[in-house]
Amino acid sequence: MSQETLGWEAGISRSYIGKIERGEVNASILLFYQIAEALDTKPEALVRNTGRSGS
């Protein structure tokens, strides 16, 4: 799915989707849920285990 399509489906601008992908901004919990819904998935599926533990 393109950033433009994802943005349209989630009600978020394409440029903001790009900023989230690049780690330039942190999505609010509301936007996180909107993105998951647009991708037809559960929010927890968007979070992957990076193998890093907290300090």
Q: What is the Cα–Cα distance from 37 to 25, expressed in whole angstroms?
A: 20
Q: Tell me, what's the pLDDT at 44?
A: 87
The model's pLDDT over 24-39, given as tens digits with 9 standing for 90+, comes to 998 899 999 999 999 9
* CB contact at 8 A, 12 and 34: yes
* pTM, rounded to two decimals: 0.76
User: Does residue 50 surpass a pLDDT of 60?
Assistant: no
User: How many CB atoms within 10 Å of residue 30?
Assistant: 8
Q: Domain-by-domain residue ranges, the chain?
A: 3-41
DSSP string, 5-25: HHHHHHT--HHHHHHHHHTSS
Half-sphere exposure at residue 1, Cβ-oriented, CA atoms within 13 angstroms: 16
Q: Tell me, what's the pLDDT at 18?
A: 93
